[in-house]
């Protein structure tokens, strides 16, 4: 007698859509945030790989390690994902022309669409009509100032910043939600049109909806931006929903 196999309604499709992320090697936040964001989208599955970023010293301070980045993209491409995401904040610090070059290189090498947290940020700010922003994060004020210079080249002005002075990449992940919320409240003032948590190794995405309700200002988390941009680049219309903040009410198409 053949036993009947019961398939739960919530089981993901046999051929799910794949979102593939590249992240810095010491990052422990991107995976858990991305998985949480996609939890209610059972047909979308995240996969990940890393490029080296250790300690406080970046051996490529003004560019990307292109060999490592393209090797990571090509390894992810073996799984035939729907889009590749660079989930990191470095693009704004070194200039977002590097992210545009990354998108072109990945498309040329793999044939796949590519999104980055930095380019998704520009798209989100455009849709929000926001040009005056506050940058927050666990890093140093100088990091925020460098990111501000990169954003200024794109027509975005940093009018406030708050930071914790941490320099070690791994240590960023130890910052708790209370500290992130305190940074956001510190910069929530008239004239700030968006608050940006500009560090993918600092967990802030789950706070977005509550802090937006409290401050009246959109909160854009770098990891959430990567996921939002990746969904748009992959042509996936479903989103995690309003519970993750205003970002996920915006159309992501074109954010890659």
Task: Give residue 67's pLDDT.
Answer: 97
Q: Is the pTM of this model over 0.85?
A: yes
Is domain 17-118+224-249 given the CATH code 3.90.180.10 in the classification? no
Q: Residue ranges of the domains in the chain? A: 17-118+224-249, 120-221
H/E run at residue 160: strand 157-163
Q: Do domains 17-118+224-249 and 120-221 have the same CATH topology?
A: yes
Assess whether pLDDT exceeds 60 at residue 5: no
Task: Give residue 57's pLDDT.
Answer: 77
Assess whether pLDDT exceeds 50 at residue 181: yes
Do residues 67 and 40 lie in contact, with contact meaning Cβ atoms separated by under 8 Å? Answer: no
Architecture of domain 120-221 in this structure:
3-Layer(aba) Sandwich (3.40)
Task: Give residue 39's pLDDT.
Answer: 96
Residues of the chain with pLDDT > 90: what percent? Answer: 89
- Of 60 and 13, which is predicted with more confidence? 60
Separation of alpha carbons 114 and 30, rounded Å? 17
Q: Work out the average pLDDT over 218-228.
A: 98
Angle at 183 between CA 181 and CA 184, to 5 degrees: 65
Assess whether pLDDT exceeds 80 at residue 12: no
Do residues 174 and 180 lie in contact, with contact meaning Cβ atoms separated by under 8 Å? Answer: no
Task: Give residue 1's pLDDT.
Answer: 47
């Amino acid at each position: 007698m053949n036993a009947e196999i019961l398939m739960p309604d919530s089981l993901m499709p046999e051929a799910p859509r794949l979102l593939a992320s590249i992240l810095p090697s010491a990052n422990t936040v991107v995976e858990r945030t991305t998985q949480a964001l996609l939890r209610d989208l059972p047909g979308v599955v995240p996969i990940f790989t890393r490029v080296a970023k250790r300690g406080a010293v970046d051996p490529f301070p003004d560019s990307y390690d292109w060999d490592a980045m393209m090797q990571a993209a090509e390894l992810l491409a073996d799984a035939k994902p729907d889009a590749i995401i660079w989930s990191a904040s470095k693009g704004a610090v070194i200039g977002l022309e590097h992210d545009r070059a990354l998108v072109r290189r990945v498309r040329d090498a793999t044939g796949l669409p590519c999104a980055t947290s930095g380019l998704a940020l520009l798209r989100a700010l455009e849709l929000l009509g926001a040009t005056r922003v506050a940058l927050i994060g666990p890093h140093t004020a100088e990091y925020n100032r460098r990111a501000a210079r990169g954003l200024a080249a794109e027509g975005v002005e940093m009018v406030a910043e708050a930071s914790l002075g941490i320099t070690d990449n791994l240590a960023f992940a130890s910052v708790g939600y209370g500290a992130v919320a305190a940074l956001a409240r510190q910069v929530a003032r008239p004239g700030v049109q968006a608050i940006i948590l500009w560090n993918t190794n600092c967990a802030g995405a789950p706070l977005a909806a509550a802090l937006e309700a409290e401050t009246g200002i959109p909160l854009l988390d770098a990891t959430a931006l990567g996921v939002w941009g990746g969904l748009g680049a992959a042509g996936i219309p479903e989103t995690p929903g309003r519970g993750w903040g205003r970002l996920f009410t915006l159309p992501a198409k074109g954010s890659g």
